A and B are shown apart, each in its own frame.
Chain A
Amino acid sequence: NAGVMQNPRHLVRRRGQEARLRCSPMKGHSHVYWYRQLPEEGLKFMVYLQKENIIDESGMPKERFSAEFPKEGPSILRIQQVVRGDSAAYFCASSPNGGRAPEQYFGPGTRLTVT
């Protein structure tokens, strides 16, 4: 049973370019979460999505960041016009559909470097 997959694992972008990060949840999981970890800091929640719906985006920066989880295909975190402060590790997690206290399973992360 494959785990959460993220690609690319490493992404280098120049300032002003766009970054697209992809996350494929575990099979049978329809809940996806995105977290960001700045260098030497803890993980911070960004957004929680179910298929075709954004449930909680309280951690998303107001500008330049967007996320989607279409009916078919992976979840996408999109960062427009990247700046050096966007350099971080971005982790995706997924949860199973049932259970009283659903745990989250994390992917290996995408390390974004903005030059």
Chain B
Amino acid sequence: DAKTTQPPSMDCAEGRAANLPCNHSTISGNEYVYWYRQIHSQGPQYIIHGLKNNETNEMASLIITEDRKSSTLILPHATLRDTAVYYCIVRVGESFQKLVFGTGTRLLVSP
């Protein structure tokens, strides 16, 4: 699986958009980009995933660059409950494989 690079921490004001970057410069053509988050002591929560097109769901938007070497997770209106560690993971699609968690980005949303 390709390695990912994320900033260790970020701050965001409540109500503002949180933009979390991820670099995955060695991603292969058949690898998807997944985002999960872990709110303190809880099980990780799936957020969104994509291959090459931008994706949006009720939680977030995922923007993947055209060369697929980086992506951004966007939380459009961050709330205090979005404070968590966010993990960007790439892995082969169309398969059932383990997730390899890195160190993630610790997002702190403040009032």
Bitwise interface map of A from 26 to 62 toward B, beta carbon under 8 Å scored 1, else 0: 0000010101000000111100101000011011000
Q: Are the CB atoms of B96 and A108 closer together than 8 Å?
A: no
* CB-CB contacts below 8 Å: B51-68 with A: 51
Q: How far is the CB of A96 from chain B (nearest CB, A)?
A: 10
Inter-chain residue pair count (beta carbon < 8 A): 59
The number of residues on chain B lying at the interface, defined by a beta carbon within 8 Å of a beta carbon of chain A, is 22
* CB-CB contacts below 8 Å: B27-53 with A: 32, 34, 38, 41-46, 49, 51
Q: How far is the CB of B56 from chain A (nearest CB, A)?
A: 16
Q: Determine which of A43, A95, A109 lies in contact with B101 in the assembled complex, contact meaning CB atoms within 8 Å.
A: A43
Indicate the size class of the contact surface on chain A: 20 to 34
Instruction: Tell me the complex Cα distance, A101–B96, Å.
Output: 8
Q: Which of A4, A31, A101, A105 has the most CB of B within 10 A?
A: A101
Chain B residue nearest to A108 (CB atoms) is: B43
Q: Known: A42-B104, A101-B32. Is A95-B42 also a contact (CB below 8 A)? A: no
* CB-CB contacts below 8 Å: B63-108 with A: 93-94, 96-104
Instruction: Tell me the complex Cα distance, A35–B101, Å.
Output: 10
B binding-site residues for A, Cβ under 8 Å: 32, 34, 38, 41-46, 49, 51, 93-94, 96-104
A binding-site residues for B, Cβ under 8 Å: 4, 31, 33, 35, 42-45, 48, 50, 55-56, 58-59, 89, 91, 93, 95, 100-109
